[in-house]
Structure 1
Amino acid sequence: QKNKVRQALPLFEMIHSVDSLTLAQDINRIAEEEGLFPRVLLEVNVTGEGSKFGFAPDDLHEQMEALLALPRLSIEGLMCIPPLTVESEDSRKFFVEVRELRDSLEKKFRMKLPQLSMGMTQDFPIGIEEGATLVRVGTAIFGERRARKGDL
């Protein structure tokens, strides 16, 4: 959320959801103003759905030079959120796609992207099998979220 960048930057070790070049540029500008060097993950839209956030894989290849030119950002890797499925195994193809995208970006741009944030409570074992270095398991720890009034 672009409107929260200034407040979030000093609070977090890493931003896991940089989903556009515009957001990356905003983070870079604010980081320069604040004297920070944030670590970030680039969010990949693995489904191609317009309702999902993130870089389309082809767009990421095209925009990577512009992203790498942002001097304040340390791009550490990629993050994805596959569609919710009944079977956790169904997430595997999306995790494979993101791992292969990471590998191709590393080769093309001669860089290291050591972090892959793939997998949530329902599918994190599959994410780990496919190379995840970070998983998000909040539901397993804290339980299901309660619906807010505006969500009903």
Structure 2
Amino acid sequence: MEGSAGDRSSWASSVHARLSMQANRGRDTRPELLVRAALHARGWRYRVNHRPLTADRRRTVDIAFTRKRLAVLIDGCFWHRCPEHFVMPKTNLSYWEEKIAGNVRRDAESNALLEGDGWTVLRFWEHQDPATVVEEIEASLRKLS
């Protein structure tokens, strides 16, 4: 049963850990939905899970204002190493150190690629107040007008 939840060659330290991590959403998270709903209610229109880079079609942004070239990403505290909330798992330490460091490197690379292609990039943490996030997005949109 290679690759199954019971496979000990898996990255997961237990069946429960594997199922928990597989259940994490890559898009449409609660923080994203709250911000998107507030933006929509204020009359803003945007693209969701957009792939703005022609050179690297695998990279997506959570919210994209294509005409203004504004990319918004709402990062999870665990997956992107939030300085306030991130706690390194105790089990399978070498896997998690490499995984999280890779995510942080990819975030910085994505920022550089987007900015190099003329995009303004805004990154927020999942724990930030959605109303504050929306205000910052709106301020950037007005500045880009």
TM-score normalised by L of structure 2 = 0.33
Q: Which has the higher helix share?
A: 1
**Larger Cα-atom Rg:** 2
Q: Say which structure, 1 or 2, has more relative contact order (CA 8 Å, 6+ apart).
A: 2
TM-score normalised by L of structure 1 = 0.31
